Amino acid sequence: MLRSLSSIIADRARSQPDEVVVVDQRGELTAAELDDAATRLAHVLISRGVVQNDLVTVSLPNGRDIVIACVAVWRAGATPQPVALALTDEERAAVEDVARPSASIGARPRSARIAWIVSVDAPPATGALPDLIAASWKAPTTSGSTGRPKVVKAHAPASMDPSEPVAPFLPLRGVHLVAGPLTHSATFTYAFRGLLTGHRLIILPRFDERAWLAAVEMHAVTWALLVPTMMHRLLRLPEEERDPARIRSIETLLHMGAPCGVELKGAFLNWAGAERVVEVYAGSESNGLTMIRGDEWLRHVGSVGRAIGGTEVQIRSADGAELATGEAGVVWMRRGERPAYEYLGASSRRDPLGWDTLGDVGRVDEEGFLYLLDRQDDVINRGGEKVYPVEIERVLEQHPAVRSAVAFGVPDDALGHGIHAVADVAGAGVGEPELLAWARERLGSRTPASIRIVHEPVRNDAGKTSRRRWAQARHSE
């Protein structure tokens, strides 16, 4: 039976008030404590003018406060709009301009018309609140990895049946490790869907490979979401630190968020156990999804799976013609008669027949397995040759000193675009000449013209980066 998200949390507090539902750096938060804190904050939101179906920006670091804030927004009958703390003032102002939130919890809004609620700490409140259901349960802000950040407002209401699994890879109960930013769509979606079906959330302030393994052991974690950058960092740990016995409690490891290299995926399956690893390809827009288990992947190396949940997949040329099996083109998906989302401040590419695309390039084999190449907008055209940045990145990340890498095209008068890259080597002493030599042996003519060495992550904890920004920075040098 469908129920409001607010009532699901309230019922859990009534039936199991002392059950621990969130664990973060500050300790444990019980169901009753979450319910009480959210109710008090909901009263504050309403007193500041928030009404049903308003958007409320939530911009807070990982921890209990962002959970309290989102439950409070649902309790007020509104829609949480998670926004990363890392947005620039200009980006935040642009998002506010299109989202038009009535309030902001956490980060200070750029517009004076938006009610600013600095903290989730709220005074005691009296009086029952009506059981309201917002028309949209979430409105995440995309990463901006392909351009200006935009708001993706879900069409699904703030209600669900907590007795039914929301996906075949997300069980009803579990100890759920949250290592990515809760302001990111995928982390937000699975963490809160998990919480609403009985999960306990173990929330890390940010991803750290050693802290992740320690949390799995300490809390007997059964479910976790990873992105390829996290997988790569886990496998870079000394062998004695990543004993597979340390993750024996885990039942499912889901990874998504970015294409995963064949070498990395194979090594990760070998370490974690293919039967426990699931990969999903989807976007914030929920226009369709594919899934593949680790054991299936070993038979279809490099695939992101087959369509599930009523999804259909088509591969099209740049001019929109459907391509034959095996040909590479733009990936289009269709799932249901109605769109699952709407963009605020941007146009959807959804066509009249319901087909939509995230702008990725890929192909489908005879058995319906989808293989991704890269994003259409990121493909580098060098002298008429198409070069996929992800292929450059995968080679650089095979170097033992490289924690992560980003490749991109920069305008070139002779070739159209030149290939350049940036590599995060953490504390290693490796330099550009060594990495260029490494790349040249493996990439030949596709070797970057330059590799900038940095010592900090080039992707965030959601595995996202902006190739466009790196390219602009390189072009301006």
Residue 184: the pLDDT is 92
Query: Are 249 and 221 in contact, with CB atoms under 8 Å apart?
Result: yes
d(CA 145, CA 468): 8
d(CA 5, CA 175): 20
Q: If DSSP codes are grouped into helix, strand and coil, which group holds residue 14?
A: helix
Residue ranges with strand state E in 108-191: 115-117, 151-154, 159-160, 174-178
| Euclidean distance between the first and the last CA atom of the chain, given in angstroms as a whole number | 59
Q: If DSSP codes are grouped into helix, strand and coil, which group holds residue 2?
A: coil
Residue 414: the pLDDT is 66
- Distances in Å between the alpha carbon of 399 and those of 310, 407, 461? 40, 15, 21
Residue 183: the pLDDT is 94
Encode 131-159: b = buried (16+ Cβ within 10 Å), e = exposed: ebbbebbbbbbbbbbbeebbbbbbeebbb
- pLDDT grade, residue 110 (50/70/90)? very high
- pLDDT grade, residue 143 (50/70/90)? low
| In the predicted structure, residue 259 carries a pLDDT above the cut 90 | no
Query: Are 240 and 248 in contact, with CB atoms under 8 Å apart?
Result: no
What is the number of alpha carbons within 13 Å of residue 109 lying toward its C-beta?
22
| In the predicted structure, residue 147 carries a pLDDT above the cut 90 | no
Residue 283: the pLDDT is 75
> Percent of the chain beyond pLDDT 70?
96
So where are the chain's domains? 3-160, 379-476
Q: Which CATH number fits domain 3-160: 3.40.50.12780, 2.130.10.10, 1.20.1090.10, 3.40.640.10?
A: 3.40.50.12780
Give residue 460's identity as a one-letter amino acid code: N
Residue 367: the pLDDT is 95
| In the predicted structure, residue 144 carries a pLDDT above the cut 60 | no
d(CA 53, CA 73): 10
Tens digits of per-residue pLDDT, 340-386?
888 898 778 888 888 988 888 899 999 999 999 877 777 787 766 77
| In the predicted structure, residue 190 carries a pLDDT above the cut 90 | yes
Residue 471: the pLDDT is 79
Residue 125 burial by Cβ neighbours in a 10 Å radius (0-12, 13-18, 19+): middle
* Cβ count near 263 (within 10 Å): 13
Mean pLDDT of the chain: 91
Q: Which residue has the higher pLDDT, 387 or 304?
A: 304
Residue 341: the pLDDT is 86
Q: What's the pTM?
A: 0.87
- pLDDT grade, residue 463 (50/70/90)? confident
- Report the CATH number of the 379-476 domain: 3.30.300.30
Residue 384: the pLDDT is 65
Residue 105 φ then ψ, to 5°: -105, 125
Residue 383: the pLDDT is 65
Tens digits of per-residue pLDDT, 449-460?
899 999 988 888
Encode 427-453: b = buried (16+ Cβ within 10 Å), e = exposed: ebebeeebbbebbeeebeebbbeebbb
| Helix, strand, coil percent values for the chain (each to nearest 5) | 30, 25, 45
Residue 12: the pLDDT is 97
Pairing of strands 450-454, 306-308: unpaired
- pLDDT grade, residue 466 (50/70/90)? confident
Residue 149: the pLDDT is 73
Residue 472: the pLDDT is 78
- pLDDT grade, residue 469 (50/70/90)? confident
Lowest-confidence segment of 5-14, 191-200, 347-356 by average pLDDT: 347-356
| Torsion, Cα of 170, 176, 177, 183 (10° steps) | 70
